[in-house]
Structure 1
Amino acid sequence: MMAESNKRFTMSLRQAKECGIDFRDFERVDQLPSEIPLVAVAGVWGKFQNILCLFEAELGRRYLRNVYQRRNGYVIPELGICAKTISAGETVTVTTSPPLDLKDNQ
């Protein structure tokens, strides 16, 4: 898995390229898949106060979850955690419980 090659989760596009991470190789999703352990690869800073959160699942499936800054930070709603608090290589899993209410984060 790619996350083992870099230690920081959030990084610039240039830093991601230097680590060999290309966000275009990841499937863009509106919500991360449920009940699948995902390894955090990187959070690449976007152009408009957003972070492209990159995750990898077993068997090489890769997911890109775009999150924007809200009042409570860069929260990934289905995980209920701020992207800036994730560590590269950390394993996260989306549970089937209801997603975080976005109205609280605007």
Structure 2
Amino acid sequence: MSFAQARDIGIDYRDYQKVDCLPSGVRVTAIAGVWGDYVNIRCLFEDADDNRYLRNIRRWGDAGYFVKELDVDAKQILVGEVFEL
């Protein structure tokens, strides 16, 4: 979704803690994917303790928007999907 769409439903990615890698040993739920510029996506996650994480994913050529710790392309993540790290 775009930044404007996220804002319209009450999601502001600036309220999320920026992380270079999602924390290990934590179960996170995908909240949204907010487009940045043409080379990145801001993936938003939340854990059971209401900690919010922003994982900025940059496009790497043909590899797409790969999230290494999840072993998935960010464009394939579904809202509400749960990941055990």
> Partner of 2:55 in structure 1?
65
Moved over 6 A (4+): none
TM-score, normalized by length of structure 2? 0.93
1:62-100 Cα distance to aligned partner (Å, 9 max, x none): 000000111211111111101110110110122xxxxxx
TM-score, normalized by length of structure 1? 0.76
Aligned ranges for residues 37-48 of structure 1 at < 5 Å? 37-48=27-38
Q: Which has the higher strand share?
A: 2
Identity between Structure 1 and Structure 2 (%): 48
Looking at structure 2, the residues matched to 19 and 82 of structure 1 have their Cα atoms a distance apart, in angstroms, of 24
> Partner of 1:50 in structure 2?
40
| Equivalent residue in structure 2 for 1:22, among 9, 12, 19 | 12
Q: Which has the higher helix share?
A: 1
Q: Gaps (5+ residues) in structure 2?
A: none
